[in-house]
Amino acid sequence: MKTTETSAPGTEPGVSVGKTGDPAGTPPKEKKEGAVLNVFSHGVLIIWAFMVAMPLLWAVMTSFKDDASIFSSPWSLPDTLHFDNWSRAWTEANMSDYFLNTVLVVGGSLVGTLVLGSMAAYVLARFEFPGNRFIYYLFIGGMSFPIMLALVPLFYVVNNLGLLNTIHGLILVYIAYSLPFTVFFLTAFFRTLPTSVAEAAFVDGASHSRTFFQIMLPMAKPGLVSVGIFNFLGQWNQYMLPTVLNTDPDQRVLTQGLVQLAASQGYKGDWSGLFAGLVMAMLPVLAAYIVFQRQVVQGLTAGALK
């Protein structure tokens, strides 16, 4: 009477499988080393998360305290929530004006960066023409150029154009500053998109612009979201460029306002208002990351999964 040997799915016939599904021939030493490495990596991630989250939570907690509690019991929870710290920072410290200027600058520059960057990346990724690689490497070279070296000539260029101390001038500088990384990122992403869809659109009589805006650009949405988040974080936290190109007190952005608030409150002793303003500047960045973190991961891995 014949007997047939069965094996677990995913294993070759005749290979015995243990209780955990691993082949019986796996050395116990390798299993132990893998478990130790797993515990070590998780421990490092927990320590890193604690180091990052604790200052943020402490700043939020401190923004609801009064000045006396900040120094007497810095690590304790506030006895009462002082919402007047936020209202005082929003009105008396002109955080509302700084916030509005930042929204205008970052919003305009983000739209311009994504539109111009996606158009340039699409042409570099999908069309072959003389100088294609040279232009692409020029954008990559822009990523490695230190912004410190360009501040003085950039100041004179913007001044000669009559764009100094203006919102739209700062928007144009932000766009130029963010284009190299955007083109580099989206060029690699557009190369992963299937060419058959664009060819079918051309056969149906669609123009290059219509194919790009109605077909290819929606397909590149994960990449646009990912690079948009990176640009948003960088432009929202930008301090050096507006400090040099935007010296008008009425046109200051949020980073300049926080420095001004820190300098003024250092003499007045209004530390609770300072922490409230700090949390105001921090919340949009945290909210953007929390809302779009899944899209960012999908955009970064979309090219590898296609």
Rounded CA separation 123/187 (Å): 8
Q: Are 231 and 184 in contact (CB under 8 A)?
A: no
pLDDT at res. 37 = 73
pLDDT at res. 306 = 45
The domain limits of the chain are 100-305
Q: Following CA atoms 293, 294, 296, 297 in sequence, which dihedral angle do they give, to the nearest 10 degrees?
A: 120
> Which of 5-19, 30-44, 65-79 has the least mean pLDDT?
5-19
- Helix, strand or coil for residue 85? helix
DSSP letter for 18, please.
Answer: -
Rounded CA separation 273/67 (Å): 9
Most confident of 85-99, 108-122, 289-303: 108-122
On the 0-12 / 13-18 / 19+ scale of CB atoms within 10 A, 33 is exposed
pLDDT at res. 147 = 84
Q: Is the pLDDT of residue 99 over 80?
A: yes
Q: Stretch 262-291: mean pLDDT, rounded? A: 80
At residue 67 the predicted structure's pLDDT band, cuts being 50, 70 and 90, is confident
Structure tokens at 48: 């890193």
pLDDT per position as a tens digit, 158-182: 999 999 999 999 999 999 999 999 9
Looking at the chain, the whole-number percentage of residues with pLDDT higher than 90 is: 30
- Helix, strand or coil for residue 297? helix
Rounded CA separation 124/136 (Å): 7
Q: Are 89 and 105 in contact (CB under 8 A)?
A: no
pLDDT per position as a tens digit, 125-150: 989 899 999 999 999 988 888 888 88
pLDDT at res. 134 = 94
CATH of 100-305 among 3.80.30.10, 1.10.3720.10, 1.10.10.10, 3.40.50.300: 1.10.3720.10
Q: Is the pLDDT of residue 267 over 70?
A: no
Q: Is the pLDDT of residue 27 over 90?
A: no
Rounded CA separation 216/190 (Å): 8
pLDDT at res. 21 = 47
At residue 4 the predicted structure's pLDDT band, cuts being 50, 70 and 90, is very low
